[in-house]
Amino acid sequence: MTVSILIFLPLLAAAALVFLKNEVAKLAALFFAVVELALSAYFLANYIPGSNTQFLVDQSWIPQFGIYFNAGIDGINIIPIMLTTLLVPIIILTTFKHEYTKANIFYALILFMQSGLLVVFTALDGFLFYVGWEAALIPIYFISALWGGENRIKVTLKFFIYTFAGSLFMLIALIYLYTQNPSHTFDLHEFYNFNMTAKQQGFVFLAFFLAFAIKMPVFPFHTWQPDTYTEAPSAGTMMLSGIMLKMGIYGAIRWMIPVVPQGFDQYYPYCITLAVIGIVYASIIAFKQKDGKRLVAYSSIAHVGLIAAAILAWNVTGVQGAMIQMLNHGINVVGLFFIWDIISRKLGTRDLSQLGGIAKNNPWFAVAFLIITLGTVALPLTNGFIGEFLLLDGVYYYNITLAAVAGTTIILGGVYMLRMYKSVMQGPTNDLTLTFTDVTGTERLVLVIICALIIVIGVYPQPILHLSEASVTQLVGEVNAKLNALHAPAAAVPVK
């Protein structure tokens, strides 16, 4: 059994969904997503932690360009894959209270996107990676633009052009790597194994960084993000923030730094600085937001900035932190957006100043919101804690000052998240919030699942860390070995 089944199942499901009626499509989509989850669980169960790639599929695709349909699961991508298969059914579940027009297309697009995302995460061939990267982009564009809010057309086009621009530069970088490597393939490991001059690597690094930075997004490439998150339908926002931005993080870990270590070596100080600036900047902006969804969007920039900084610091701790934080952030941010989805659906507004006192009459909702908020602010024993801790640790190894600045994310995050919680849930109830009814049915189910995940991972993260540990250690080690060899004559390079 290879990962191709994992990739193609959602695709086929999407095709089937087009021909179904709206009501049936909803259930069918959930069914397929759960089947997908089960499949991935099967893979997880059979996965042997280690560095070698498993469940490999390796088919010739475009031989004249040395392109293979080459995908598999290893320690680096298992977490994002699990994240995807886990979150998609949850996201589908969150939409059950919505009545979308042409729901069959909507769910088909979500499943299509899932397929694209899985291609991105499993691909071991540069071309395949790129195709998945773009394939995931098309459906989310249509999801956002068709079912989104007022300004959706302009905003989503901006989003599309931004990300497409980034990815085209990545395409050039990939083609360049293809032409430069001696065996003329797009194979990832081939990319790892050959050497280019520092200048060439620098260019490739910049191209990759542009693509990934836009996707994550890292300051100053983030301008598309808050608008898009705000305008997209909730499910779209969840797909974007929960899974899609992990493409950037994952890409950096797998496709950027190990492929062009020397390029990375030249530019990473600037990149980290950008990431850290982004953290502080986004936190401050988040602080000022009145729209709850927008606030979460900015908080996401801040969190992702920290992940980016940790990756760019490039040490085992940081990368491991990034790994687990990818999962955590996905869960948390989906939870938060779902909370806001519920509020805006029930009350028709997301303005913090108009809300308040919801907690009084709605205990289920209050508890869930609290848990998710705490998870996001990284309270110990929630999932956020372990991730952020490792990330900060990673950055700290690189530079104490930066770590200190980056650490403000926890403080600032705590402040604005709790302020948000307070202004929504506590204080006096007003006419509007009185109408709020407690969560029921699928909403309650989703919130329970998310809260459970937050707590379980927070208490016992070890199995997840264990999944990726060997691979990460090896990857980090290889790159650092290359860099050390490079710096050996100059000596006196701090070992990371």
Nearer to another protein, 200 or 349 (CB): 200
Residue with tokens 């179904």: 20
Stretch that binds another protein, among 21-29, 160-168, 237-245, 396-404 (CB under 8 A): 160-168
Q: Is 44 in the site for another protein (CB under 8 A)?
A: no
Burial 460-495 (b: 16+ CB within 10 A, else e): ebeebbebbbbbbebbbeebbebbeeeeeeeeeeee
Q: Is 291 in the site for another protein (CB under 8 A)?
A: no
Residues 199-258 that bind another protein (CB under 8 A): 203
Among 63, 182, 428, 494, indicate the residue that binds another protein (CB under 8 A): 63
Q: Is 389 in the site for another protein (CB under 8 A)?
A: no
Stretch that binds another protein, among 165-173, 258-266, 336-344, 461-469 (CB under 8 A): 165-173
Q: Is 145 in the site for another protein (CB under 8 A)?
A: yes
SS (H, E, C) the chain: CCHHHHHHHHHHHHHHHHCCCHHHHHHHHHHHHHHHHHHHHHHHHHCCCCCCCEEEEEEEEEHHHCEEEEEEECCCCHHHHHHHHHHHHHHHHHHHHCCCCCHHHHHHHHHHHHHHHHHHHHECEHHHHHHHHHHHHHHHHHHHHHHCCCCHHHHHHHHHHHHHHHHHHHHHHHHHHHHHCCCCCCEHHHHHHCCCCHHHHHHHHHHHHHHHHHHCCCCCCCCHHHHHHHHCCHHHHHHHHHHHHHHHHHHHHHHHCCCCHHHHHHHHHHHHHHHHHHHHHHHHHHHHCCEHHHHHHHHHHHHHHHHHHHHHHCCHHHHHHHHHHHHHHHHHHHHHHHHHHHHHHHHCCCEHHHCCCHHHCCHHHHHHHHHHHHHHCCCCCCHHHHHHHHHHHHHHHHCHHHHHHHHHHHHHHHHHHHHHHHHHHCCCCCHHHHCCCCCCHHHHHHHHHHHHHHHHHHHCCHHHHHHHHHHHHHHHHHHHHHHHHHHCCCCCCCCC
Q: Is 353 in the site for another protein (CB under 8 A)?
A: no
Stretch that binds another protein, among 45-53, 81-89, 125-133, 262-270 (CB under 8 A): 125-133
Nearer to another protein, 153 or 411 (CB): 153
Q: Is 106 in the site for another protein (CB under 8 A)?
A: no
Stretch that binds another protein, among 33-41, 126-134, 336-344, 370-378 (CB under 8 A): 126-134
The structure tokens listed for 398 are 């690189």
Q: Is 140 in the site for another protein (CB under 8 A)?
A: no
Among 22, 44, 49, 61, indicate the residue that binds another protein (CB under 8 A): 61
Among 16, 39, 175, 418, indicate the residue that binds another protein (CB under 8 A): 175
196 alpha-carbon distance from chain centroid: 30
Nearer to another protein, 131 or 454 (CB): 131
Among 68, 160, 208, 398, indicate the residue that binds another protein (CB under 8 A): 160
CB of 221 to another protein, least distance (A): 14
Residue 226 exposed, middle or buried by CB count within 10 Å (0-12, 13-18, 19+): buried
Query: What is d(CA 116, CA 137) in angstroms, rounded to the nearest whole number?
Result: 8
Stretch that binds another protein, among 43-51, 135-143, 439-447, 460-468 (CB under 8 A): 135-143
CB of 134 to another protein, least distance (A): 4
Among 108, 110, 120, 152, indicate the residue that binds another protein (CB under 8 A): 152
Nearer to another protein, 154 or 466 (CB): 154
CB of 187 to another protein, least distance (A): 16
Q: Is 277 in the site for another protein (CB under 8 A)?
A: no
Nearer to another protein, 129 or 268 (CB): 129
Nearer to another protein, 140 or 447 (CB): 140
Query: What is d(CA 376, CA 351) in angstroms, rounded to the nearest whole number?
Result: 20
Q: Is 172 in the site for another protein (CB under 8 A)?
A: yes
If binding means CB under 8 A, how many residues of this protein chain bind another protein? 32
Q: Is 135 in the site for another protein (CB under 8 A)?
A: yes
Count of C-beta atoms within a 10 Å radius of residue 18? 14
CB of 21 to another protein, least distance (A): 15
Q: Is 47 in the site for another protein (CB under 8 A)?
A: no
Stretch that binds another protein, among 134-142, 215-223, 307-315, 392-400 (CB under 8 A): 134-142
Among 20, 168, 347, 449, indicate the residue that binds another protein (CB under 8 A): 168
Among 3, 86, 131, 417, indicate the residue that binds another protein (CB under 8 A): 131
Among 55, 159, 178, 205, indicate the residue that binds another protein (CB under 8 A): 178
Among 20, 44, 56, 157, indicate the residue that binds another protein (CB under 8 A): 157
Residues 10-39 that bind another protein (CB under 8 A): none
Residues in contact with another protein by CB under 8 A are 61-65, 127, 130-131, 133-135, 137-138, 142, 145-146, 152-153, 157, 160-161, 164-165, 168-169, 171-172, 175-176, 178-179, 203
